[in-house]
Amino acid sequence: MADKAALKNFVAQVMEVLPQVLRGFLRTQGNALILGQISPSQYFVLDAVDRQGALKMSELAAELSVSLPAMSGLVDRLYKMKLVKRVYPEKDRRVIRINISPRGENILKTIRVRREAGFRKIFGQLSRKDRMEYLRIITKMRDILNKDITGQG
């Protein structure tokens, strides 16, 4: 019973602190996300196509766990901003793949550089041991979340 109470207390503390930490990370970055150039969802789309190459709309929607109509809206806005391009493969012109444009690459690079600087500033104030413990825990959390998403957990 004490373990359930301790877990409940821990969860309450995490729910209070985590949003503050996430907002703090965003504040330190001063990037296109904060400046309103792109939304966090648009950033995730750019990041996915940059990491994985040209993706079909359905692949993007699955990757980011959003509906196909929602993904279409996101991609349309990014296309109008000239941050992504639509690629029509020669073999089947009905299939449309989404790829990052040079302008999208530049915005993504700027965001990543500023994020890295923000992370260095924050994590530079922690000991190496604390940083390694943090990395161990968030990696474990990622693995648990991935198992839940894939149904293996």
Per-residue confidence band for 22, with pLDDT thresholds at 50, 70 and 90:
confident
pLDDT of residue 152: 61
Is the dihedral angle over the CA atoms 69, 71, 74, 79 positive or is it negative?
Answer: negative
Between 2 and 44, the more confident residue is 44
Per-residue confidence band for 118, with pLDDT thresholds at 50, 70 and 90:
confident
pTM here is 0.76
Write out pLDDT tens, residues 51-67: 999 999 999 999 898 99
Per-residue confidence band for 21, with pLDDT thresholds at 50, 70 and 90:
confident
Alpha-carbon radius of gyration of the chain: 19
Per-residue confidence band for 74, with pLDDT thresholds at 50, 70 and 90:
very high
- Which residue type occupies 75? V
**CATH number 1.10.10.10 is the correct assignment for the domain at 31-150:** yes
Q: What mean pLDDT do residues 94-102 have?
A: 91
* Residue 32 pLDDT exceeds 60: no
**Helix, coil or strand: residue 99:** strand
Question: What are the residue ranges spanned by the domains of the chain?
Answer: 31-150
**Sole residue written with tokens 């109470």:** 5
